[in-house]
Structure 1
Amino acid sequence: MKITKNSEFSTVQYETANIQGALYGPGISGLKGAFDRKWVEELGKDIDVLYKDALQRPGGAVGRGTKRHYVEIHPENIRGFVELVTHPWVKAVCEAVLGPEYKFVEIGFDVPNPGAVNQPWHRDFPAPEDTVKGRRINSLAFNLTTVDVEEDMGPFEIAPGTQWDDGTEFEHEMFPKKELYSRYESKAEQKMPKMGDISVRSALTIHRGTKNHSNKSRPVLVLGVDAPGANNHERHDLQITKKFYNTLPEDLKSHLMCRIVDELEVIVQGHTIEGLMMGDA
């Protein structure tokens, strides 16, 4: 893998104050050109194979709305897992926001296909007490597109600063009432990353996928990370074989919240979001 050396991001985007300012302020940040396009192409090929396989298995691909799926995967089934989770920017962000004992708890991918419609505005799970009372972000979601995103491909849309919104009146504490939509639409920013870019956000920041008017899918890798006590691993089933685990760098092993197994088992998805099936046409 080639990590792109871009002077625009070599210092400022690695500074703790700037990282914390972005995640505690807008609730999202990113690094352009973090990975070489060839590396992303190989990742995209692996995701294509895994997606086709998941669609053939009952429950292999979980619906995230009309013509959208989420698939949780095993780290060793994609090339580049180690390069991804040990990238200097990924490490810097995790340490700055979650502390030195952060844990990777989830890896999967989301695929909005042609014909996907607007998702309802939502956060990925109810705000934890750490955030509601402690005003602390205790988990992060990294996203890495495998294609160059264009305006007609249903870009990801986010309402900056809304990770702090009171969700007690939201449906399931995740879905704002429709009368609040105008607020999110007024704040909304569409993200159109290119291959090699990576972003990070609080999963509590209100967001949605938008209509895909194109004839192309928009696969995006998802990497979930927790601070101690966040317990999002309970929604997932990160597995690594003993053989693969033994090949990993020692300093990475301490950042994995996973089961060590002799053989990989089929993942039973534990984090369905039924409300996402209510998108508008």
Structure 2
Amino acid sequence: MAKTINQVNYTETDLDKFALAIKQDGICVIPNVFNQELIEEWQQAFEKLFQERQKRPGGLAPREKARYYLTLPWIAPFANEEVFANRVVLEILNRVFWQEYVMVQLGCDIPVQGSDYQEIHRDFRPLFSEQIFTPAYALAINFPLVEVTPDNGPFQMARGTHLLSRAEGLAKIASGEIPMESFYLKPGDIIVRNPFALHRGSPNLTATPRPMIVMGYVIHWLHTPKVDLTLSQDYYQSLPAQTQQMLRCQVIEQLDINKAETYINFKY
């Protein structure tokens, strides 16, 4: 299996700046976290899995027109501790979260040709109400398996809207005060974002799917029934105890490779 070698040795100061950007802007792009060998390995495995899931009833979750979601199975190469527990990822999570956290999601967003703009949305509801600000209780790590360009469906987000009510954020976007910004990425780059910030997917105008991996992490007490992780007992037991504690997962004797997609659409 390809190893995850960070392309840039980020310093403590760098990591502090990334975490501050997430707190203030709701998003940060960190270049060159994963090497090209790993990305190529994931891309080849994804293409095979995507083709197989397309043929299977219930194999993909539809996300509006010509856009799909796929929960990745915890098998090689996707079951890789050096990805979901990568040093850079954990250093950022440790700086942003104010309590213990768990990983709850490993999937892929896939717009294909014919997709359109998503409705501007959040991935989580407020904990209490729009009028009560709370520190980050969920973070998403995204990384593409192909270069993200203006033509193949870049992720779009309005910076700072995680600090606003939904109505105020939408009003500022509509007036142009806060733009919907497109984020272009090279393979190996990651986005760390607050899923409470207003965002959307954009159209893929090319003939090639644009797979974007999403890893979801939440404060340990947050209930997340709409996503799930399922690990084989052998793989789970091979992990260090600290890593096991970081995963909110179902552990079973043997994975069901024909399991239907369990994703439920969540937009707020």
Q: Do both proteins adopt the same fold according to a TM-score greater than 0.5, normalized to the shorter chain?
A: yes
Aligned residue identity for 2:212: V
The alpha carbon displacement at 1:270 in A equals 4.5
- Give the distance between the partners of 1:79 and 1:212, measured in 2 at CA: 24
Task: Tell me which residue corresponds to 2:109.
Answer: 110
2:232 to 227, 236, 241: 241
Indicate how the Cα distance of structure 1 residues 274 and 99 shifts in structure 2: closer, same or farther if over 3 A, else same: closer
Cα distance in structure 1, aligned partners of 2:43 and 2:220: 31
Preserved contact between residue 173 and residue 180 of structure 2 (Cα < 8 Å): no
What is the TM-score of this pair, normalised by structure 2?
A: 0.89
Unaligned runs of 5+ in 2: none
Partner of 1:205: 197
How far apart are the structure 2 equivalents of 1:274 and 1:23? 21
| Percent identity for Structure 1 against Structure 2 | 25
Give the 3-state SS of the residue equivalent to 2:209 in structure 1: coil
Which of 255, 268, 271 is matched with 2:264 structurally? 271
CA contact (8 A) 2:60 2:68 kept: yes
State the shift of 1:44 in Å.
1.1
> Cα RMSD between the aligned structures?
2.5
Deviation at 1:74, TM superposition (A): 2.5
Structure 1: which 5+ residue stretches go unaligned? 171-175, 276-281
**Which residue of 2 is the match for residue 173 of structure 1?**
none
Q: Which amino acid letter does the alignment assign opposite residue 8 of structure 2?
A: N
Q: How many equivalent residue pairs?
A: 264
User: Matches of 1:256 and 1:160 in 2, distance apart?
Assistant: 29
Q: Which residue of 2 aligns with 1:229?
A: 221
Provide the residue aligned with 1:12 in structure 2. Answer: 13
Which residue number in structure 1 is paired with residue 41 of structure 2? 42
Q: Measured at CA, do residues 219 and 128 of structure 1 come closer, stay the same or move farther in structure 2, by a change above 3 Å?
A: same
Distance in 2 (alpha carbons) for counterparts of 1:88 and 1:123: 27
Q: Could you tell me whether the CA contact under 8 Å between 2:61 and 2:261 is conserved in 1? A: no
Distance 1:11 1:259, change over 3 A: same
Contact 1:64 1:274 in 2 (8 A): no
Structure 1 distance, partners of 2:34, 2:154, is: 20
1:271 is aligned with what amino acid?
A: I
Query: Does the CA-based 8 Å contact 2:67-2:110 persist in structure 1?
Result: yes
Q: Distance in 2 between matches of 1:79 and 1:155?
A: 23
Could you tell me how far apart the structure 1 residues matched to 2:25 and 2:126 are? 16
**Alpha-carbon spacing, 1:57–1:5, altered in 2? closer, same or farther (3 Å):** closer
Task: Give the corresponding residue for 1:187.
Answer: 179
Give the Cα separation in 2 of the matches to 1:100 and 1:251.
15
Q: What is the Cα deviation at residue 117 of structure 1?
A: 1.0
Give the TM-score taking structure 1 as reference length.
0.85
> Does the C-alpha gap of structure 1 residues 257 and 46 become closer, same or farther in structure 2, counting only changes over 3 Å?
same
Distance 2:134 2:176 in 1: 21
